């Protein structure tokens, strides 16, 4: 096998995709074009902000578009597409002319779909990884050209695990393109699906185990209710000493009861306010020693 010589067209949007694009540029691969989401409006003003991928493309004088037009107009060229968290379905009319590989943040066929990192944390998986797979019309079913595994640590959140996987994925893609894609290996093993996290799943249930509560805090933007107000739980930690509180009761030390014990709040975000440490939030509760979360 020989080094991939085809110019690359890169499709992606968030920071993780920008990490991979930067690695490709750093290693001398020709990026013919970038496709990413349209600039997004932030805050209350009318100004818009380019996606992280677009920002990298601009810094490196790479042409950018926000739909499939460029790919359709250049479908006769010998290109290879690289897809990383693009966020949209790529039509068959494009795939039939431009072969594409995808960096998927799971060990396929486990966690095919939109939220593989979140689902791996929620399920308590001990390991995950990156697969470089062929893009097909069906969801994450293509042959796998390369894979690399990493441990899921107790400190991993969706954000920092995704960042770690993006670094691993960028390095693996460079190695794979340097060696040549080869023919790929069909996926083997039990298939599971990583459905998008629903709004209902963001609300914490204190009637589950402490382990499950902590996994949910690490995996999603979880919240609980304090009366009519939402309180986002940014970070929580396990307790070394056994404590027994009724599920959902939070004491003055920020210890909250669960089905089988308790967890300690570390940082929170009250509705309409900035993130703060839990101790500061508790001090501002007008001396309330016990709070009932729901």
pLDDT, tens digit, 9 for 90 and up, residues 80-96: 999 999 988 899 999 99
Residues 108 and 190 grouped into a single domain: yes
Q: Are 265 and 236 in contact (CB under 8 A)?
A: yes
Residues 153 and 131 grouped into a single domain: yes
Q: What is the structure's pLDDT at 290?
A: 84
**Residue 119 φ/ψ, nearest 5 degrees:** -65, -35
129 found inside a domain: yes
3 found inside a domain: no
2 found inside a domain: no
| 122, pLDDT greater than 70 | yes
Q: Are 176 and 145 in contact (CB under 8 A)?
A: yes
Considering 134, 164, 194, which residue would you say is the last residue of a domain? 194
The CATH number given to whatever domain includes residue 90 is 3.40.50.170
1 found inside a domain: no
The residue whose two tokens read 């508790």 is 282
Using CA atoms, how far apart are residues 154 and 152, in angstroms rounded to an integer?
7
Q: What is the structure's pLDDT at 123?
A: 98
Residues 146 and 242 grouped into a single domain: no
pTM, whole model, 2 decimals? 0.95
19 found inside a domain: yes
Which percentage of the chain shows pLDDT scores above 90? Answer: 90
Question: Quick one: average pLDDT of 144-168?
Answer: 98
What's the domain count of the chain? Answer: 2
Residues 30 and 176 grouped into a single domain: yes
Residue 44: which pLDDT band, with cuts at 50, 70 and 90? low
Residues 160 and 42 grouped into a single domain: yes
116 found inside a domain: yes
The CATH number given to whatever domain includes residue 206 is 3.10.25.10
Residues 175 and 220 grouped into a single domain: no
Beta strand extents in 66-163 (DSSP E only) = 80-84, 100-104, 112-113, 127-134, 144-151
Buried b (16+ CB within 10 A) or exposed e, 49-81: ebbbbbbbbeeeebebbeebebbeeeeeeebbb
Residues 135 and 36 grouped into a single domain: yes
Residues 115 and 179 grouped into a single domain: yes
Domain range holding 62? 8-194
Residues 147 and 225 grouped into a single domain: no
Residues 15 and 155 grouped into a single domain: yes
Side-chain half-sphere of 207: how many Cα atoms within 13 Å? 1
Considering 160, 194, 228, which residue would you say is the last residue of a domain? 194
Using CA atoms, how far apart are residues 279 and 294, in angstroms rounded to an integer?
20
Whole-number average pLDDT of the chain: 95
Q: What is the structure's pLDDT at 53?
A: 98
Residues 74 and 12 grouped into a single domain: yes
28 found inside a domain: yes
Tokens of 53: 């991928």
Considering 140, 162, 194, which residue would you say is the last residue of a domain? 194
Buried b (16+ CB within 10 A) or exposed e, 85-101: bbeeebeeebbeebebb
Q: What is the structure's pLDDT at 9?
A: 98
Residues 280 and 138 grouped into a single domain: no
233 found inside a domain: yes
């Amino acid at each position: 096998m020989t080094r991939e010589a085809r110019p690359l067209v890169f499709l992606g949007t968030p920071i993780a995709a920008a990490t991979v694009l930067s690695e490709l540029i750093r290693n001398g691969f020709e990026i013919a074009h970038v496709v990413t989401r349209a600039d997004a409006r932030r805050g209350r003003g009318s100004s818009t902000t380019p996606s992280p991928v677009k920002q990298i493309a601009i810094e490196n004088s790479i042409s950018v578009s926000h739909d499939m037009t460029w790919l359709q107009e250049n479908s006769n060229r010998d290109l290879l597409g690289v897809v990383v968290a693009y966020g949209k379905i790529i039509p068959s009319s494009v795939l039939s002319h431009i072969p594409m590989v995808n960096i998927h943040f799971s060990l396929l066929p486990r966690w095919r779909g939109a939220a593989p990192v979140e689902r791996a944390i929620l399920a308590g998986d001990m390991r995950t990884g990156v697969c470089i797979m062929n893009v097909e019309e069906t969801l994450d079913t293509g042959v796998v050209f390369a894979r690399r595994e990493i441990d899921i640590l107790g400190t991993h959140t969706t954000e920092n695990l995704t960042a770690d996987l993006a670094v691993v994925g960028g390095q693996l893609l460079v190695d794979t393109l340097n060696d040549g894609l080869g023919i790929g290996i069909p996926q083997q093993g039990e298939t599971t699906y990583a459905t998008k996290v629903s709004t209902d799943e963001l609300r914490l249930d204190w009637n589950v185990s402490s382990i499950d509560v902590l996994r949910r805090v690490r995996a999603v933007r979880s919240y609980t209710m304090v009366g009519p107000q939402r309180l986002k739980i940014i970070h929580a930690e396990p307790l070394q000493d056994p404590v027994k509180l009724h599920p959902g009761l939070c004491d003055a030390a920020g210890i909250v009861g669960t089905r089988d014990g308790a967890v300690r709040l570390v940082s929170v975000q009250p509705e309409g306010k900035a993130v703060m440490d839990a101790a500061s939030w508790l001090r501002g509760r007008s001396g309330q020693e016990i709070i009932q979360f729901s």
